[in-house]
Structure 1
Amino acid sequence: MKHEYNKLVRDKIPDIIRESGRSCDYKILSDAEVLDALKDKLIEKANIFAERPSEDEISDIYELIDAIVEKFDYEPMHIDYLKLQNKESKGTYSGNTFLISADDGN
């Protein structure tokens, strides 16, 4: 029985499928196509983590973030700088702060 996936997978997945005695169809995405596929995959993995938190899912998310930084041609050191800037100006998520409401100023 053939299953349709139509999603970005790690590079070795087609080899793993073939080594198990099964067959698969895949293509190599263009640089333009992979940008949307990476965003979709990040949402998929975030949803999986939301349902079943695990270190394995976090490792996939880290791998995806690395690929996004590379494919979107972001500078890793600049990302670190922005992270530090946000930490200093807005704080971190370690304080467990949950905003319920805020006045709109009027």
Structure 2
Amino acid sequence: MRETHDKLVRDGVPDVIRANGETPELERVSGAEYRERLHEKLDAAVAEFHDDPSAAELADVRAVLDAVERSGSE
């Protein structure tokens, strides 16, 4: 069964998929499209933090903010 996820990849997720004997299909994005996806991810991370105001969720928000900051230099 094939699953499709239109998501930014982090935390070695493709390696986990490979370890399960599957082959991930990846598409690299950059520039404006990358920044747009980061903003979408930030919205989702903040919403998750509101639902579960834990240190782990806050760390996810911080990680996305760090990526947004780094993407400004592209």
> Which one has a bigger Cα radius of gyration?
1
Relative contact order higher in (CA < 8 Å, ≥ 6 apart): 2
Question: Within 2, Cα distance between the matches of 1:53 and 1:4?
Answer: 28
Question: Could you say which structure has the higher helix fraction?
Answer: 2
For these two proteins, the number of residue pairs brought into alignment is: 73
Whole-angstrom CA distance in 1 between matches of 2:11 and 2:32: 18
Give the structure 2 partner of residue 50 of structure 1.
50
Shift of 1:22: 2.5
- Compared CA separation, residues 15 and 41, structure 1 to 2 (3 A): same
Q: Give distance in 2, aligned partners of 1:27 and 1:64.
A: 19
Query: Over residues 2-52 of structure 1, what are the superposed CA-to-partner deviations in whole Å (9 max), with x where a residue is unaligned?
Result: 222111121621112111222221111122211001000001111111112
Specify every segment of 5 or more residues in structure 1 that has no aligned partner in the other structure, as ranges. 74-106
User: Unaligned stretches of 5+ in structure 2?
Assistant: none
Please say which of residues 46-55 and 32-41 is displaced more in the overlay.
46-55
**TM-score (norm. length: structure 1):** 0.61
One-letter amino acid of the structure 2 residue matched with residue 32 of structure 1: A
